[in-house]
């Protein structure tokens, strides 16, 4: 796309107290991170990439619980220059770095998560169980590309759960939902949501933050783009689980345990030194 909008590179000023609140809860909402006009401009390209790259092409009723939760398409930024412009925006990466209180962030990967009308719930899970990354300074931006009313909503987060690290070594599915439902009750986590949302709002959550999302009983396609970042300097940890072996090969170029995760698939998306 020509005439790249300057707002993609412009800082977003977080409200006072946001960093501390994020540190305590492990999640935060950032309203109006992408102006409406920006979302309108890029959404058609993201829609196109999402449908072209979707992992599971079966009809909704033939999929399992995880598959019914959303149409999932990864690294949509590779599909076109337009999607890359938006997904890799410095504006978004800078917020991720500020919330993680680090000097820079790298791309782990992006994912479009489109919850279809009639789409199922997103089971309780912790993202970082999949990630062979030797740091808890990991974060996902979850940005709706459409206005989302309260009855559709976004994610439900277990406040402060990230501080407990790996709570169960379970990948997303029926078993994780059942297990973490019990964990939430036993540990007495309070639960938070941030909905409704306007297109271009975003939530951010840490890799170990336990979260889920309700089913979509509306007629709306809940179009969401997520971008996953980690602190620059993060090293690769042992891929001692099939899910982590899968991620190591797919998103980190199969590099060795202990290596700095700075390969060509994981570009630096924002660094404090770029602003001085
Ligand atoms: O969009 C959803 O329903 C869940 C998203 C999610 O689990 C994530 O971004 O980590």
pLDDT of residue 185 exceeding 70, the answer is: yes
Q: At what angle do helices 90-100 and 18-25 cross, to 10 degrees?
A: 70
Give the alpha-carbon dihedral of 45, 51, 52, 55, to 10 degrees.
130
Digit-coded pLDDT (tens) for 209-262: 999 999 999 999 999 999 999 999 999 999 999 999 999 999 999 999 999 999
Question: In this structure, is the dihedral angle defined by the CA atoms of residues 97, 112, 7 and 147, taken in order, positive or negative?
Answer: negative
CA 227 to ligand 1 centroid distance, Å: 11
Q: How confident is the model at residue 2 (pLDDT cuts 50, 70, 90)?
A: low
Domains of the chain, first to last: 6-263 (2.60.120.620)
User: Quick check: CB of 204 below 6 Å from ligand 1?
Assistant: no
pTM as predicted: 0.97
Q: Looking at residue 276, what is its pLDDT? A: 74
CA 67 to ligand 1 centroid distance, Å: 12
User: Quick check: CB of 127 below 6 Å from ligand 1?
Assistant: yes
User: Quick check: CB of 226 below 6 Å from ligand 1?
Assistant: yes
**Which residues in 50-175 belong to E strands, given as ranges?**
71-74, 104-114, 122-125, 138-144, 156-158
Q: Looking at residue 1, what is its pLDDT? A: 57
Digit-coded pLDDT (tens) for 254-263: 999 999 999 9
User: Quick check: CB of 197 below 6 Å from ligand 1?
Assistant: no
Q: Looking at residue 213, what is its pLDDT? A: 97
Instruction: For a ligand 1 pocket test, name from 113, 115, 201, 227 the mutation site with the most ligand atoms within 8 angstroms of its C-beta.
Output: 113
CA 5 to ligand 1 centroid distance, Å: 28
Instruction: For a ligand 1 pocket test, name from 140, 206, 243 the mutation site with the most ligand atoms within 8 angstroms of its C-beta.
Output: 140
pLDDT of residue 18 exceeding 70, the answer is: yes
Digit-coded pLDDT (tens) for 62-87: 999 999 999 999 999 999 999 999 99
Digit-coded pLDDT (tens) for 124-182: 999 999 999 999 999 999 999 999 999 998 999 999 999 999 999 999 999 999 999 99
Burial (CB < 10 A; 0-12, 13-18, 19+), residue 216, is: buried
């Amino acid at each position: 796309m020509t005439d790249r909008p300057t707002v993609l590179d412009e800082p977003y000023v977080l409200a006072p107290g946001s960093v501390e609140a994020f540190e305590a809860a492990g999640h935060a909402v950032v309203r109006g991170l992408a102006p409406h006009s920006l979302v309108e401009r890029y959404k058609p390209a993201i829609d196109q990439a999402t449908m072209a790259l979707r992992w599971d092409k079966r009809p909704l009723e033939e999929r399992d619980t995880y598959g019914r939760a959303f149409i999932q398409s990864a690294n949509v930024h590779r599909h076109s220059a337009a999607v890359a412009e938006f997904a890799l925006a410095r504006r978004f990466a800078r917020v991720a770095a500020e919330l993680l209180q680090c000097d820079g962030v790298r791309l782990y990967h992006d994912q479009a998560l489109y919850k279809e009308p009639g789409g199922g719930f997103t089971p309780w899970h912790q993202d970082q169980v999949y990630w062979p990354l030797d740091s808890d300074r990991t974060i996902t931006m979850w940005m709706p590309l459409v206005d989302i009313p309260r009855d559709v909503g976004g994610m439900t987060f277990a406040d402060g759960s990230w501080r407990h690290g790996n709570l169960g070594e379970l990948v997303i599915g029926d078993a994780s939902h059942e297990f973490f439902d019990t964990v939430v009750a036993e540990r007495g986590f309070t639960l938070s949501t941030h909905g409704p949302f306007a297109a271009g709002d975003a939530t951010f959550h840490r890799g170990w933050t336990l979260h889920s999302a309700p089913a979509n009983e509306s007629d709306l396609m809940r179009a969401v783009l997520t971008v996953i970042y980690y602190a620059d300097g993060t090293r690769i940890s042992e891929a001692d689980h099939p899910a982590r072996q899968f991620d190591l090969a797919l998103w980190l170029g199969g590099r060795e345990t202990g290596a700095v995760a700075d390969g060509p698939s994981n570009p630096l998306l924002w660094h404090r030194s770029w602003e001085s």
